[in-house]
Structure 1
Amino acid sequence: MIGKVLSYLQAWTVIVRAWSMPMTIASISLGAAYAYYLGYRINIVFFILALIGALLLHMSVNVINDYYDTLYGVDAPDVLKYRPHAIFMGIVNTRSMLNIGLILLITGSLIGIYLSIVVSPLILILGITGIFLVYEYTGPPLKLKYRALGELSVFLAWGPLMTLGSIVASTGLINYAVAIVSVPVALLVVATLYANNVRDIERDRGRGAYTLAIRLGSNAKWFYVTLLASAYATQSVLILLRLLPIYTLITIALIPLTIKMIRNATNGVFEHLDETTSLYSLAYTILLVIGLLIRF
């Protein structure tokens, strides 16, 4: 019995790409933590609902992304050399993959609609914008990923939109400063996606997926380095502008890992770097949140 449960859970971790969920946890948590830093009262129930809704929407974009990548021929059986893929592992068929993605999308949307009714209509506006961006990442007609615009859509969705939605859902109040404060975390989320695309350059190039990594060519690895460096540079500016407290500098504890990741990137070693960057973004945000919660 336990074996069947574990097998079932393992299958779902592959279907929704569970390794990438820390990105959403990071963005939603940052919004609530910044609200606390500003002295706002947090509604824990609404915060949890916002987190669940965001995670469901994130899962939906992962599932729909795999569906369309398979449909367009960007993903093929050889993808299993690089990462688990639910369709080519025989866990689900293509049609079921789409249905799962749509169910996740609808469920996450319903939570957003509920919060917009009981908290603020702004949540609905942010939610609709976010759903549009995550669906059009690979969905027709825009197919942003294939037009080198995937990173921009992810930056907006996991940065300003998600953190602003989090602070509104958690407090019922609007503070647009959180959209600026979200930039360092959003850059790391983009770095996660971008590392995945750099790893897949050779596969994507011959299959009509013109990602940003492909368009940058030999300079692709340096953009990843720029994203990591920009996260810390932006954080420093936010501290100087007093939008972040000095205590958030505890993020420098990750510098040794940052250097290791940069070394891997400059050497062209992007295998599993997307997974590492995802966990790195969560660790960075945890330290950022701790810095926001410290009060003397």
Structure 2
Amino acid sequence: MTLLKAWMISLRLRTLPLALSTIFMGSIVAAWQGVFRTEILVWAALTTLFLQILSNLANDYGDAVSGADGVDRLGPQRMIQSGVISLKQMKRAVGLCALLALVAGLRLLHLAFEGALLQALLFLGLGLAAIAAAIRYTVGSSPYGYRGLGDAYVFVFFGLLGVAGTYYLHGESWDWKVLLPAASIGFFSAGVLNLNNLRDEESDRKANKITLIVRRGRQWGNWYHLGLLSAGWLAFASYAWLSGQPTRFWPVIFALPFFMRSVLQPFHNYRPGGLDKELRNLSLSTLLFVALSALVLFLS
């Protein structure tokens, strides 16, 4: 395997549609409110892509150091585990991605809050917290991803803060109802993580990586997955209802069958390795959900 291919695998490109869904949803809600700005979408997307790649690389590094990436691990091969990429190289890549995320984030804040220092500093603090959280997920003396807190991290940063923060950056205005579509994306993102943890239950248990699935068991995880996706749809339905024109959101219904399939897969797929492709499918289903939400702009 070439070094270039090894790095492409480590970037985990299939996770990027899910990260972009966060920015797109926040931008779509801003467009519904008439405050959309193209430059905010572009730089928010770049910042999020760097943060997602940072999280992916830091996860590889942390799992390699802790021993979670053993020979019996399911899913895509990790490049440190295979010996193609060294720990030192991966650590440098993590630092580079953190720097790129910071630079892109600073440019985003400059565009959004030129002259508004207090708001810029507040969002800078949130951005630095996101960078730290991405690294601390599996890196450090007590990574929270090894203590069953990964789901909460994903819900907050890829849901509430990601969507609602993007919405605010567009127009510097606030509407509490935006937390409902933000929660939808947060629940769907946590669903992707849950599928990952269902797949890796055995290897995580051996490595003492205490995810919610390791703590509660696979059967609980199957019902938890149902709960996450159901909660995501319920949150969005509540937003549609509170908008006063719920029928205009009808295009989103076309994404529902794909989520129903994702709900059923853990119950019927008893081979953990068989869940690997469902991570990609749910990520793409979430992106489809967001794309169909954008159609509301043209049909209302």
Moved more, 56-65 or 87-96: 87-96
Distance 2:188 2:95 in 1: 27
Secondary structure of 1:272 counterpart: helix
Within the candidate set 36, 39, 47, 1:45 is matched to 39
Structure 2: segments with no counterpart, 5+ residues:
114-119
With normalisation by structure 1, the TM-score equals: 0.89
Secondary structure of 1:82 counterpart: coil
CA contact (8 A) 1:30 1:163 kept: yes
The letter for the 1-side match of 2:194 is Y
Q: How does 1:1-296 map to 2 (within 5 A)?
A: 10-40=5-35, 42-79=36-73, 81-120=74-113, 121=120, 122-217=122-217, 218-242=219-243, 245-269=246-270, 270-291=275-296, 293-296=297-300
Instruction: Tell me how far 1:260 sits from its aligned partner.
Output: 2.3
Instruction: Tell me how far 1:71 sits from its aligned partner.
Output: 0.2
CA contact (8 A) 1:214 1:220 kept: no
Structure 1: segments with no counterpart, 5+ residues:
none
Distance 1:294 1:192 in 2: 30
Distance 1:12 1:251 in 2: 36
CA contact (8 A) 1:35 1:171 kept: yes
CA contact (8 A) 1:146 1:210 kept: yes
Instruction: Tell me how far 1:9 sits from its aligned partner.
Output: 6.0
Distance 1:167 1:104 in 2: 24
Moved more, 196-205 or 82-91: 82-91
Moved more, 243-252 or 12-21: 243-252
- Tell me which residue corresponds to 2:116: none
With normalisation by structure 2, the TM-score equals: 0.88
Distance 1:243 1:16 in 2: 42
Distance 1:165 1:224 in 2: 26
Q: Percent identity?
A: 23
Secondary structure of 1:255 counterpart: helix
Secondary structure of 2:84 counterpart: coil
Distance 1:91 1:143 in 2: 25
CA contact (8 A) 1:134 1:157 kept: no
| RMSD over equivalenced CA pairs, Å | 2.2
Distance 1:258 1:111 in 2: 33
Distance 1:173 1:12, change over 3 A: farther
Instruction: Tell me how far 1:164 sits from its aligned partner.
Output: 2.6
Instruction: Tell me how far 1:257 sits from its aligned partner.
Output: 2.3
Distance 2:244 2:64 in 1: 43
